[in-house]
Structure 1
Amino acid sequence: MGNRKNKKMKIVYNLIGVLMLSLSLGCMAQEFKNPIDVKLGDPYVLKTAQGKYYMYGTGGVKNGFKCYSSTDLVNWKDEGVIYTNKQEKAWGISAFWAPEVYEKDNNFYLFYSAQWKENPTNELENFKIGVAVSKSPTGPFIDVSGKPIFNPDYPIIDGNVFFENNKVYLYYSRCCYKHPVESEVATWAKEKGWYKEIEESWVYGVELKKDFSGIIGEPVLLLKPPVKQNKETEWESRSVTSHEANRRWTEGSTLLKNNATYYMTYSANNFDGENYAVGYATSKNPLGPFTKSVNNPILQKKGDVTGTGHNSITWSPDGKEMLCVYHGRTKESGHQRVVFIDRMHFDDSGNLIVNGPTTNLQKYPSK
């Protein structure tokens, strides 16, 4: 009788052990670490009305874009090419950058930057922003028209769109190309004999027509590099002060709203260098004026991770966690840009915080 009881107890203990091991393995399976297995620059994540995620970015295909899909933000499926300049309405010929896709009225709209084929003065940088449409987030996307949305007298990239109160706003970066600006760091670099001038890129905002066919009114200057150098702003000039380039960038903007405040994240420094980093500015209106945070940068190189920037923002499957999606480089990736996803949040004072870059194990975004 005693042996039978002992055998039963042994079976129970074994079952408990198996159960605990299974639970342990399950917990282990619900952890991940950066970078995730996607090799793109300028990553943008769309969360559809059905709750599925789609990621778009620069690279992976020549003269076009590809897409990845996921249900948990960690495991991504390659959905292949979703746009190329071979389609009938294409206006771009090269330099296809920074795609972002928005779901509206049962359609999906792809905003992107490219080199415009209409270039009578043969400018090296003739970048403009266009929009293409599809019934599916995986394409194929066809340009809405055979030309960019609008044509300012300077090159532009990095379109970001914000919808509010039945209005649509477009944010973009005026390129550094042929845009020299006087500043303290420009004077300093000239005195050192490094550069004769420092070119700058600036972020603008403008209202879009609801069908995305053009703009309403004139673009408004929202962000630019600092004129004066101090401890709070020096991070935006590191490409110059490290003798890397004669340019200062303000690009890759993303707008979000928290309570009554608009937050605009942006990237500064050379996207191709290790000092690429992210800051943010705030405003009470979608078209500014914006004030830069004294806590910038909120994301910059750390340890073996460099070149962190051009972020987008998404939310966990249950909508409870805000996540920063951005590209960076590691020793393993070399010069290849790879994707990172880290948690971000607002603290009690309304400051925007990014918990990154990380390469340690962390839990999956909350379900």
Structure 2
Amino acid sequence: MMVRFAVLFTLASLLPAAFAKIKPATWHTNGTYINNATTVAADPYVRWDKRSGAYWAYSTEGADEGWYYGIYTSPDLATWTKIPGGAIKNDSTNIWAEDWWWAPEVYYNEKTGWYFLFHAGRFLNATKVAEYFKYPDFEEASKIGVAVSRSPQGPFVEIADRPIDYYPFDPGYDDVNLIMQPPYLVPPSTHEEGKTAPKGTYIPSIDPDVFWDDDGSIWLFFSRNAYRNWVWSDEFGKYIEESNIYAVRLDNAWWNDPHAKTLPSVHSSFKDVHKGEPKDWQTSVNSSFPGPTRKDGWVAVISYALQPQAWENAHVNDHAASGGTLKDRRWSEGSTTIKRYDSSGNPVYYLTYSANNYESPDYGVGYAVADKVSGPYYKSGSNPVLSQDASRSIFSTGHGSVVASSANPGELYYPHHARPSPDDDRYLYTARLFVEPDSLYLGFGPDAGDLRLPSGVAPLSIKTEGGQNGTYELVVRSASGAKFDLSNPINRVRVEVSGGATAQVNGGLVTIDGNATAKSKGSSTVRVVYERARSNETAPWLAVSQARGIDAGDVVDLIIDV
């Protein structure tokens, strides 16, 4: 048997030598993708990894038993392949978090070759809780930790047996939990009563997002966990427990450490800025539970008080609606910050965030803009800019990240989680993201229907890379060499047979019946065509073609002569 590959003739290859210096036209393909809710993922963070030539996704959910954080890889932001295990083994060195393990994000340092995984986790041990939050019964004691690896697929190992060196503190907060009774569902009924509570509280933190500014400064954006943040609302005449988004500058020592053994610490400009506040503060409740002595600062970025928007109020009456089992709450979480410049060269910082309960169909995405990394940030009047659409069976859209295509830094995507029904698990979806700094605009393309593949995926190739006894292993690769999972339901290869041979396809394997060939007269040809699933029910599959410039394109195929 002889295998022949399809030859892709391009306009550039036929031009005279005089045109050799002309920049080659960009590859394009008619290939599309659909968000088909097959990859279980929550709070997904996606990055392009140049070393492996693939996109990598890190998720709160999706890990195997005994691991934290699911990991997936993809050549096209749509065909995701699960990496066995997960990011962090639950019996590895320096495990400090006892619960939650939320919202992983991974960053790569090209100079040192280290990958850093930031994540949130929760303490349950009373002594540890008191060490970071003063009170041994502090409600939902969450912190941020960092693990490292030499590979994007891990395993990642915690830098230290403790979270990052940061003790965010709010000196002006009326700690109404101290005048409430467990389970802390019902706050004081009046603002006057709430003001009688002792002032000051340490801040529980989740959903880290690290941003590198052009001046070399490193910033951590995070969500102040809603627990222990009861905020009085004149609008509703009651206390509402609220999560907000804050920012703090980090030092650079951890990032520059060639051995990745330095734990991130808050920058000196934010360290212990609340020393002496509030007056007569006691660092511990008693000698059995010594509390923290440092009280670090932060910058408020997103909150209802800074700029109220009605769409964030989906759960402010949950206590009555649930018969007293839930709290009245607001959420601001899952932020991502990017920087762009307008036509005059002025910086524009875009911050996306999610609001409302992640379990609710009302979970959605808003954005805010600023001209400095530390703000102030101003919410868009168009919020939410990504939300549920029952007509397309998309619910609970949110907590995503921003990634550029491998070939074009200006072509942005927003991988996020969503549900195909209000009761389903969360799955990985991807939508185009558009920003226009001159108008401070940010918006999304559709996340349903037939969606265009990112630039840089083409040209694709299809080859046989193994097999025996008439069975061939077919491999489709992207331009960077990343493999497509042909068992994924949005990919397939179709066979066309001429002559007397028969052929069957099972995922990436094609089996040609040699006995049938022997009985035939003359030669036989098996053509294998790469296809993508479509949302169009009348034409559910599309043969993928590709070309440069204005050419119509050649089908991605492989011919096997029998």
Relative to the length of structure 2, the TM-score reads 0.56
Q: Which residues of structure 1 form unaligned runs of 5+?
A: 1-25, 191-196
Aligned to 2:212: 163
**Aligned-pair CA distance for 1:334:** 3.3
Aligned to 2:232: 182
Q: Is the 8 A contact 1:53 1:73 kept in 2?
A: yes
1:186-214 superposed Cα distances (whole Å, 9 cap, x missing partner): 42xx5xxxxxx310011110111111521
Aligned to 2:121: 114
Specify which of 136, 140, 144 is matched with residue 159 of structure 2.
144
For the structure 1 residues 145 and 330, does the alpha-carbon distance in structure 2 shift closer, same or farther, using more than 3 Å as the test? same
How far apart in 1 are the matches of 2:235 and 2:386?
22
SS at match of 1:255: strand
Read off the aligned partner of 2:155 and give its amino acid letter. P
Q: Is the 8 A contact 2:229 2:243 kept in 1?
A: yes
**Aligned-pair CA distance for 1:306:** 1.1
Read off the aligned partner of 2:122 and give its amino acid letter. Q
Aligned to 1:270: 357
**Aligned-pair CA distance for 1:241:** 5.2
SS at match of 1:91: coil
Q: Is the 8 A contact 1:44 1:311 kept in 2?
A: yes
How far apart in 1 are the matches of 2:332 and 2:41?
20
SS at match of 1:346: strand
Specify which of 250, 254, 276 is matched with residue 208 of structure 1.
250
1:35-89 superposed Cα distances (whole Å, 9 cap, x missing partner): 4531111010011233421100111236611211112111111112121331121
How far apart in 1 are the matches of 2:428 and 2:243?
24
SS at match of 2:316: helix
How far apart in 1 are the matches of 2:75 and 2:423?
29
Q: Is the 8 A contact 1:283 1:291 kept in 2?
A: yes
How far apart in 1 are the matches of 2:306 and 2:75?
44
Read off the aligned partner of 2:227 and give its amino acid letter. Y
Specify which of 301, 308, 315 is matched with residue 404 of structure 2.
315
How far apart in 2 are the matches of 1:95 and 1:123?
16
For the structure 1 residues 365 and 184, does the alpha-carbon distance in structure 2 shift closer, same or farther, using more than 3 Å as the test? farther
**Structure whose CA Rg is larger:** 2
1:121-143 superposed Cα distances (whole Å, 9 cap, x missing partner): 13341110010110001111111
Aligned to 1:60: 62
Read off the aligned partner of 1:156 and give its amino acid letter. S
Read off the aligned partner of 1:253 and give its amino acid letter. S
Aligned to 1:15: none
SS at match of 2:384: coil
Specify which of 69, 84, 89 is matched with residue 89 of structure 2.
84
How far apart in 2 are the matches of 1:84 and 1:119?
23
For the structure 1 residues 27 and 205, does the alpha-carbon distance in structure 2 shift closer, same or farther, using more than 3 Å as the test? closer
How far apart in 2 are the matches of 1:227 and 1:166?
28
Matches within 5 A, 1:261-300: 261-300=348-387
Matches within 5 A, 1:32-71: 32-50=33-51, 51-61=53-63, 64-71=68-75
Aligned to 2:105: 100
- Greater share of strand residues, 1 or 2? 1
Q: Is the 8 A contact 2:419 2:425 kept in 1?
A: yes
Q: Does 1:305 align with 2:312?
A: no
**Aligned-pair CA distance for 1:27:** 6.5
Q: Is the 8 A contact 1:128 1:151 kept in 2?
A: no
Read off the aligned partner of 2:220 and give its amino acid letter. L
How far apart in 2 are the matches of 1:151 and 1:174?
12
Q: Is the 8 A contact 1:323 1:342 kept in 2?
A: yes
For the structure 1 residues 294 and 82, does the alpha-carbon distance in structure 2 shift closer, same or farther, using more than 3 Å as the test? same
Q: Is the 8 A contact 2:104 2:118 kept in 1?
A: yes
Q: Which residues of structure 2 form unaligned runs of 5+?
A: 1-27, 131-135, 169-201, 255-262, 271-296, 342-346, 457-562
Relative to the length of structure 1, the TM-score reads 0.84
Read off the aligned partner of 2:329 and give its amino acid letter. R
How far apart in 2 are the matches of 1:228 and 1:137?
38
Read off the aligned partner of 2:129 and give its amino acid letter. N
Q: Is the 8 A contact 2:37 2:429 kept in 1?
A: yes
Q: Is the 8 A contact 1:251 1:266 kept in 2?
A: yes
Q: Does 1:352 align with 2:442?
A: yes
Aligned to 2:298: 219
Read off the aligned partner of 1:162 and give its amino acid letter. F
**Aligned-pair CA distance for 1:272:** 1.2
How far apart in 1 are the matches of 2:54 and 2:212?
20
**Aligned-pair CA distance for 1:228:** 7.7
SS at match of 1:299: coil
* Deviates further, 47-56 or 296-305: 47-56
For the structure 1 residues 228 and 343, does the alpha-carbon distance in structure 2 shift closer, same or farther, using more than 3 Å as the test? closer
Percent identity between the aligned chains? 33
